[in-house]
């Protein structure tokens, strides 16, 4: 009877196949990232000069690249970069998007109209082009690429949070809170925000694949991670030059990327079903 | 002499809207238009009216959730528009509210206990004390303490409404504003909540303002009835007088439309009001009710009627009552010669 | 006048849920005669709407099991094919709901939608439109000609409900099922709609099955009443039987819970406890856990329907009934 929604939620998680499969995929990536030093047979910078462009074999299970580096080790270390992108990207977008969305939705007025306009504007310009433009201004590098992508992507969060805030702020419990003297700040962060969290979680898991792919694309184009970083995008870019001699160079990092993105997507699907209020009533 | 708890004088609340795209024209929605009334301590006042009559807006003005466009709200001899910060803070502890929808009255993400504790905590009550108070108020509304750690979605409509009442009581308020407190509930639960409200009112000598469209509920619970039509107060008086001998044609129509709850009374309704409630956007000149009123005269179409006093406590805004009136509400019309 | 139109015999509706079955309606029996206003009254979740919807097989879930007979003009609708039912829906049994906006198509004028129903009967367009205007006048729509050309959003709630009634009556059904038709309306409009339903019954001779939680409506226009509690019809009788001499403890207590007086005359009676979980296999009276008069037998056996008078039936073991008044 007195179970918290959280416990109830976990119970239904077990029953949701999508969520379970997706989170196992993501957890495996996190596991690999943490224990990369133990899992990877070599360092991602170790150069085996005698084994350049070796096809997958017992020693190098994913083969080696044009400089003789073990692809498997590089992909294993690459998980760290991918997760870094996911965490920093989602964090940046969330902080900005939630703040802007909450303030705009709660106060409305001219600031709201201005920010909505800015958010709309970011939707009119193709994201990649804008990100490239930002990178040319602020310079290249992984963190800068993430910032560029986040500048494009925060608007999705802001929109969602704003819309939700506007609908929740008219509910009776907000009025009641105000009637007994709650401050605006407390209404926003104590009353409204916790009620947005479930949908926010879904949005994050749906947005993350996009953020990862876009950042990877920037690395692929050479304005993201710089060599010798084991960034998967960069690895694919390097592999493209050797498609005929060593197709594994592009295939394996590509597959790794697909695995992570698919994991987030499947988990997102599952989360959406889990947090859908219509499913909850039963 | 009864002591006033809330005095409303010429309270107005207009909302501005712009019409037209090219030639923008500003018009006003007069949700509350010149309401003057006094709610005495320990009284239960019922506020009735059709949807769009402005009753909820009036409640929001009284709760200080929205600033009135004009007029004054005096609470316990303090003018809210001139209140100091300290006085405003105190006001928050003296007035509490329960809204209609049990499901949205409580924060879905907070437990019952923390919902009830919240108003106390903001006003500086130590947590341990607030926790005790939460238990105490739960007893007052006759709910078991095992619900303290429940979340709103685990409770029924009647239980949620009890908890909303418990939270409203936690601050030991002087007045409670109840906006359709039982409309979403079933008959048997409604009876429980109404009885509970009456018990609490007697026990703590509370003042209630009950807003509802259910005339049977109002007749049961209130001492006085205030009737609103399109933003204006059309009749205000003791329950028996207003229900049995309504003076304003609108009140008469409203009373006749009230469900009878006894088949033997069928056919007693000789008069069913025609038409639909007007819109607040295009208000008619004169008395707002004249387009629907079967007794409207030319005067009604041009001049809005004032508050005629039929007795000390019974006030009607209708020209038809001018002859009967023993006086005119001086607060409303200080210049009147009558 | 006493001709039977619809007879429901031992109707049970079970919903398949995750852990078994939920018995939404259990052994409901009643009959509606021609030109009668028959009200099914009960609190939320008592199964009154389920009965109404199962008559036309309109239950939304498709996980229900309907048992028993639904005899409409001598034919069992529960056994009818989907095609046969289609012929009954609208044509012979019309239905109106609480929120008419959901039932009206927002992109067509309301008049067009009423006309649609008339055109099914192969009537020339011009004649059909005249019928529409006529119908609008019949349902006391102010400014009928103009309103027929209005879109649903341009009408008020009361007017929309009038449109729905016109749409149903256009096909001249034998029975009109009205599911909480006035719940979303103001009291003054509610009174107008009730008066309209009553007038139309008198003019068209349409029987009305009124589903409501509001005893005010029942007292106002019903001829016969069935009181439902937790999926069971606990009492049926004329409106006077039910209001003057309720025999079932539930109806009696409910009558005392209605705010018919002022607080000076006393407090309302309340019914303690809550509705039990409706599992179908459990015998016993479903009101027993809240009934102040319950005996051991009430918890273990299903009470049968007892005839009190020609019109009055009650499902309770108590011989004399209880008049808590």
With cut-offs at 50, 70 and 90, classify the pLDDT of residue B278. Answer: confident
Q: Which residue from B minimizes the CA distance to A167?
A: B104
Asked if A180's CB is within 8 angstroms of B119's CB, the reply is yes
Whether the predicted pLDDT of C287 surpasses 80: yes
Print the domain residue range for A260.
17-29+72-274
Q: What is the CATH number of the domain that holds C250?
A: 3.40.50.300
One domain for residues C124 and C136: yes
| Angstrom distance (rounded) from CA C31 to CA C72 | 10
A264 inside domain: yes
B105 touches chain C (CB under 8 A): no
Q: What is the DSSP letter of C254?
A: H
Instruction: Tell me the C-alpha distance between C173 and B295, whole Å.
Output: 39
ipTM confidence score: 0.86
Task: Report if residue A8 sits inside a domain.
Answer: no
Q: How many domains does chain A have?
A: 1
pLDDT in tens, A12-25: 777 788 888 999 99
Same domain, C124 and C231: no
Residue of B nearest to C251 (CA): B188
- Of C282, C324, C315, give the one whose Cα is nearest residue C299: C282
Contact check, Cβ <8 Å, C215/B259: yes
Residue C320 forms part of a structural domain = no
Asked if residue C87 and residue C233 are part of one domain, the reply reads: yes
Residue to mutate among A176, A187, A188, A200, with most B CBs inside 10 A, is A176
Cβ atoms of B8 and B189 within 8 Å: the answer is no
In this predicted structure, the answer to whether residue A251 has a pLDDT above a threshold of 60 is yes
Query: Which pLDDT belongs to residue C31?
Result: 92
Does residue C256 lie within any of the structural domains? Answer: yes
- Does B335 score more than 50 pLDDT? no
Q: Judge whether C196 lies within some domain.
A: yes
Structural domain count, chain C: 2
Q: Locate tokens 């609108």: which residue?
A: B250
pLDDT, average across residues B73-77: 89
Contact status, residue C284 vs residue C299, Cβ threshold 8 Å: yes
- Alpha-carbon gap, residue C255 to C323, rounded angstroms: 10
Are the beta carbons of B150 and A2 separated by less than 8 Å? yes
Residues C81 and C202 placed together within one structural domain of the fold: yes
Q: Mean per-residue pLDDT for A217-242?
A: 89
State pLDDT tens for residues A36-62.
999 988 888 888 888 888 888 888 888
On the 0-12 / 13-18 / 19+ scale of CB atoms within 10 A, B103 is: middle
C177 with C214, same domain: the answer is: yes
Percent of residues, chain A, with pLDDT higher than 70:
95
Q: Report which of C64, C52, C70 is spatially closest to residue C10, judged by C-alpha positions.
A: C70
| B157's tokens | 């409509």
Q: How close does chain C come to B183, measured CA to CA in Å?
A: 10
Chain C nearest-CA distance from B72, in A, is 30
Check CB contact under 8 Å for B198 and C219.
no
Give the C-alpha separation, A200 to A193, whole Å: 9
- Residue B71's SS3 state is strand
Indicate the pLDDT class of residue C294, thresholds 50, 70 and 90: confident
- In this predicted structure, the answer to whether residue A242 has a pLDDT above a threshold of 60 is yes
| Best residue of B100, B261, B278, B291 to probe chain C, by most C CBs closer than 10 Å | B261
- Flag whether A131 is in a domain: yes
The verdict on B109 touching A (C-beta cutoff 8 Å) is yes
Q: Check residue B329 and give its pLDDT.
A: 63
For residue C2, what pLDDT is reported?
66
User: Is B267 in CB contact (< 8 Å) with chain C?
Assistant: no
Q: Is the pLDDT reported for residue C319 higher than 90?
A: no
CB of A82 within 8 A of CB of A260? yes
Residue of B nearest to A186 (CA): B122
- C230 in helix, strand or coil? coil
Where is the domain boundary, C118, C137, C172?
Answer: C172
Asked if C161 and C217 sit in the same domain, the reply is no
Average pLDDT, chain B: 86
Residues pairing with C32 in the sheet: C6
pLDDT of C280: 66
Regarding whether C260 and C117 lie in a shared domain, the answer is no
**B202–chain C Cβ distance below 8 A for any pair:** no
In a domain, A23, yes or no: yes
**What is the distance in angstroms between the Cα of C83 and the nearest Cα belonging to chain B?**
38
Q: Give Dmax (Cα) for chain B.
A: 66
Asked if C244 and C309 sit in the same domain, the reply is: yes
The pLDDT, as a whole number, for residue C103 is: 84
Residue C269 to residue C323: CA distance in whole angstroms:
13
Q: Decide which of C110, C144, C172 is a domain's last residue.
A: C172
What is the per-residue pLDDT for C325?
A: 47
Per-residue tokens: A209: 């694949």
- Look at residues A169, A161, A164 and name the one whose alpha carbon lies nearest to residue A187: A169
B151-172 pLDDT per residue, tens? 888 888 889 999 999 999 988 8
Check whether residue C199 and residue C265 sit in a common domain: yes
What average pLDDT score do residues B46-70 get? 89
Higher pLDDT, C59 or B128: B128
Residues of C in contact with B260 (CB under 8 A): 216, 219-220
Task: Decide which of C172, C202, C235 is a domain's last residue.
Answer: C172
Strand partners, C211: C40, C179
- What range defines the domain where residue C9 resides? 4-92+173-315
| CA–CA distance, B103 with B99 (Å, rounded to integer) | 10
Q: Is the pLDDT of residue A278 over 50?
A: no
A227 is a domain residue = yes
Of the listed ranges A6-20, A88-102, B135-149, the one predicted with least confidence: A6-20
Comparing A75-84, B262-271, B279-288, the range with the smallest average pLDDT is B262-271
Cβ of A181 within 8 Å of Cβ of B119? The answer is yes
Mutate to test the interface with C, among B156, B206, B276, B289 (most CBs of C within 10 A): B276
Q: Is C214 helix (H, G, I), strand (E, B) or coil?
A: coil
Band (pLDDT 50/70/90 cuts) for residue B272 is low
Please report whether residue A116 resides in a domain: yes
C106 and C40 in a common domain: no
* Sign of the Cα pseudo-torsion (A33, A34, A38, A43, in order): positive
> What number of other Cβ atoms are within 10 A of residue B285's Cβ?
11
Worst-scoring range by mean pLDDT, A270-279, B119-128, B260-269? A270-279
Work out the pLDDT band at B281, boundaries 50, 70, 90.
confident
Count CB-CB contacts under 10 A for residue A29: 20
**Is A22 among the domain residues?**
yes
Residues C180 and C268 occupy one common structural domain: yes
Structural domains in chain B, CATH included, are 4-287 (3.40.50.300)
Least confident of B259-273, C235-249, C299-313: B259-273
Do C51 and C151 sit in the same domain of this protein? no
Return the pLDDT at B334. 43
Please check whether residue B105 is in contact with residue B161, taking contact to mean a CB–CB distance below 8 angstroms: yes
Specify the pLDDT at position A81. Answer: 92
State the CATH number of the domain containing residue A141: 1.10.3720.10
**Helix (H), strand (E), coil (C) string for C142-211:** CCHHHHHCCCHHHCCHHHHHHHHHHHHHCCCCCEEEEECCCCCCCHHHHHHHHHHHHHHHHHHCCEEEEE
When mean pLDDT is compared across B200-204, B231-235, C64-68, C240-244, the lowest value belongs to C64-68
B96 to A179: CB separation less than 8 angstroms, yes or no:
yes
Inside any domain, residue A265: yes
> In this structure, is the dihedral angle defined by the CA atoms of residues A243, A248, A249 and A252, taken in order, positive or negative?
positive
């Amino acid at each position: 009877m007195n179970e918290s929604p959280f416990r109830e939620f976990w119970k239904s998680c077990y029953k949701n196949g999508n969520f379970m499969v997706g989170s196992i995929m993501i957890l495996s990536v996190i596991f690999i990232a943490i224990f990369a030093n133990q899992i990877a047979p070599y360092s991602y910078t170790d150069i085996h000069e005698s084994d350049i462009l070796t096809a997958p074999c017992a020693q190098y299970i994913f083969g080696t690249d044009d400089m003789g580096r073990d692809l498997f080790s590089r992909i294993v270390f690459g998980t760290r970069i991918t997760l870094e992108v996911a965490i920093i990207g989602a964090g940046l977008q969330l902080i900005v998007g939630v703040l802007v969305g909450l303030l705009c939705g709660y106060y409305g007025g001219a600031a709201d109209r201005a920010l909505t306009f800015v958010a709309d504007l970011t939707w009119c310009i193709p994201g990649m082009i804008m990100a490239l433009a930002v990178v040319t201004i602020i310079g290249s590098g992984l963190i800068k690429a993430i910032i560029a992508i986040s500048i494009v992507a925060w608007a999705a969060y802001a929109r969602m949070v704003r819309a939700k805030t506007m609908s929740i702020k008219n509910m009776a419990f907000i009025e009641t809170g105000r009637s007994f003297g709650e401050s605006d700040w407390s209404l926003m962060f104590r009353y409204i925000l916790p009620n947005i969290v479930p949908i926010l979680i879904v949005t994050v898991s749906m947005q993350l694949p996009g953020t990862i792919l876009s950042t990877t694309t920037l690395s692929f184009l050479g304005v993201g991670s710089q060599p010798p970083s084991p960034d998967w995008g960069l690895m694919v870019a390097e592999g493209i030059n050797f498609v005929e001699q060593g197709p594994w160079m592009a295939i394996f990092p590509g597959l790794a990327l697909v695995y992570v993105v698919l994991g987030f997507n499947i988990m997102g699907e599952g989360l959406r079903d889990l947090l859908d209020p219509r499913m909850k009533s039963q | 002499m009864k002591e006033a708890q809330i005095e409303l004088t010429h309270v107005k609340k207009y909302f501005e809207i712009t019409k037209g795209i090219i030639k923008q024209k500003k018009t006003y929605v007069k949700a509350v238009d010149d309401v003057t009334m006094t709610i005495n301590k320990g009284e239960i006042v019922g506020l009735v009216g059709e949807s769009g009559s402005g009753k909820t807006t009036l409640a929001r003005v009284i709760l200080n959730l929205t600033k009135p466009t004009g007029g004054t709200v005096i609470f316990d001899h303090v003018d809210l528009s001139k209140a100091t910060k300290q006085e405003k803070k105190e006001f928050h502890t003296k007035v509490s509210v329960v809204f209609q929808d049990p499901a949205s009255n409580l924060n879905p993400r907070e437990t019952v206990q923390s919902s009830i504790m919240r108003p106390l905590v903001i006003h500086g009550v130590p947590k341990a004390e607030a926790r005790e108070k939460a238990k105490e108020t739960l007893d007052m509304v006759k709910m078991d303490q095992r619900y303290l750690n429940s979340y709103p979605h685990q409770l029924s409509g009647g239980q949620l409404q009890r908890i909303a009442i418990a939270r409203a009581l936690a601050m030991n308020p002087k007045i409670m504003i109840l906006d359709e407190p039982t409309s979403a509930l079933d008959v048997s639960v409604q009876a429980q909540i109404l009885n509970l409200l009456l018990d609490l009112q007697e026990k703590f000598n509370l003042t209630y303002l009950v807003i509802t469209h259910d005339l049977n509920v109002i007749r049961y619970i209130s001492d006085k009835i205030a009737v609103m039509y399109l933003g204006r107060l059309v009749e205000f008086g003791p329950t028996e007088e207003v229900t049995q001998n309504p003076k304003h044609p609108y009140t008469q129509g409203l009373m006749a439309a009230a469900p009878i709850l006894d088949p033997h009374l069928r056919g007693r309704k000789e008069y069913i009001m025609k038409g639909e409630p007007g819109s607040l956007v295009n208000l008619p000149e004169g008395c707002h009710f004249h387009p629907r009123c079967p007794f409207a005269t030319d005067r009604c179409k041009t001049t809005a009627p004032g508050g005629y006093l039929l007795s000390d406590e019974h006030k009607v805004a209708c020209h038809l009552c001018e002859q009967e009136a023993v006086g005119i509400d001086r607060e409303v019309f200080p210049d009147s010669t009558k | 006048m006493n001709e039977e139109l619809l007879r429901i015999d031992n109707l049970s509706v079970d919903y398949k849920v995750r852990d078994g079955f939920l018995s939404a309606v259990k052994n409901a029996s009643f009959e509606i005669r021609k030109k009668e206003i028959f009200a099914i009254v009960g609190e939320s979740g008592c199964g009154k709407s389920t009965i109404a919807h199962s008559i036309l097989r309109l239950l939304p879930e498709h996980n229900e099991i309907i048992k028993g007979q639904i005899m409409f003009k001598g034919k069992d609708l529960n056994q009818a094919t989907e095609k046969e039912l289609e012929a009954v829906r609208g044509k012979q049994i019309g239905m109106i709901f609480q929120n008419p906006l959901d039932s009206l198509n927002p992109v067509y004028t309301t008049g067009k939608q009423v006309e649609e129903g008339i055109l099914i009967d192969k009537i020339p367009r011009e004649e059909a439109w005249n019928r529409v205007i006529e119908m609008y006048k019949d349902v006391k729509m102010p400014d009928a000609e103009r309103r027929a050309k209005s879109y649903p959003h341009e009408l008020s709630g009361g007017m929309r409900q009038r449109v729905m009634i016109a749409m149903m009556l256009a096909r001249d059904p034998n029975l009109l099922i009205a599911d909480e038709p006035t719940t979303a309306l103001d009291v003054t409009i509610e009174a107008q709609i009730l008066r309209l339903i009553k007038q139309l019954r008198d003019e068209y001779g349409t029987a009305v099955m009124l589903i409501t939680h509001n005893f005010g409506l029942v007292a106002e226009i019903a001829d016969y009443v069935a009181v439902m509690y937790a999926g069971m019809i606990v009492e049926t009788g004329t409106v006077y039987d039910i209001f003057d001499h309720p025999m079932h403890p539930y109806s009696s207590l409910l009558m005392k819970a209605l705010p018919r007086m002022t607080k000076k005359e006393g407090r309302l009676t309340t019914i303690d406890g809550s509705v039990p979980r409706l599992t179908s296999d459990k015998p016993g009276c479903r009101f027993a856990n809240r009934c102040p008069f319950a005996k051991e037998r009430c918890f273990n056996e299903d009470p049968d329907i007892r005839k009190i008078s020609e019109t009055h039936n009650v499902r309770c073991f108590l011989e004399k009934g209880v008049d808590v008044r």
